[in-house]
Amino acid sequence: MNNSKKVALVTGSSRGIGKAIAIGLATSGHKVILHALHESEALKGVEHELKTLGAWASTTIFDVSDKKGVESACALVLENVGMVDILVNNAGVANDKPFIKMTDQEFDAVIKTNLYGPFYVTHQFLPKMQENNFGRIINMSSIAVRGAFGKTNYAAAKAGVIGMTKSLALEVGKYNITVNAVCPGYIDTELSAAIPKEYRSQFLKQIALGRIGSPEEVANVVTFLASEQASYISGAVIDVNGGWL
């Protein structure tokens, strides 16, 4: 099946890795639906950038952790475009704190967005993918699944994403739907810029390539997984971390 000019939805695509993925998919010829939790100038800016590239682009606003909100927003997306062929579950939050000081609410909020979010959103688009006998689902996990100080909630959610990815791949392969996960390492985003300088130096010492990665380098892998060239890759977990030892 020709995989050009398909409809892609990228959650959390107003900045950082999500923005780079949206641009990568648009550059590859896909129609792109951008997503964010709130309307913002940043989101409008990404939409304008895609249209400047000559791509078809639109936006949708909802909270991935709110089941009812996801259902209504995604139903409207399907009503407007008919089909989402490529789904990138990228939206996520972090709320770091030592485990002993972490409250139920702080643990639950991260699990709800980072694990329930992909579950809720995928639930809305998977039936149409099955009906159409085609789909690409790419879930963003993290190097944090190896374990990271203060990230028990985040690491648990991202590890759950990997388990969900592998299991779902087994269920939907017969529909010509691939499901894969990408685990970024130390990437140059607003989130990493907030990390204290001494910690950033420690991270770089653990990376074989000795440098921070770019959002575009992650987006290149996602764009490949969405393409026909990756049609025989499913249930995979791909590290994009510069050889983090």
CA distance 208 to 245: 7
CB-CB contact of 13 with 47 (8 Å): no
Roughly what angle, to the nearest 10 degrees, separates helices 152-172 and 104-111?
30
Q: Which of 69, 50, 66 is nearest to 58 (CA)?
A: 50
Tokens, residue 111 = 């699990």
Residue type, 106: E
Catalytic-role residue among 154, 186, 199, 232 = 154
Catalytic residue check, 116: no
Scan for tokens 């009503």, then name that residue.
79
What are 207's strand-pairing partners?
A: 244
CB-CB contact of 188 with 215 (8 Å): yes
Instruction: Please list the active-site residues.
Output: 154
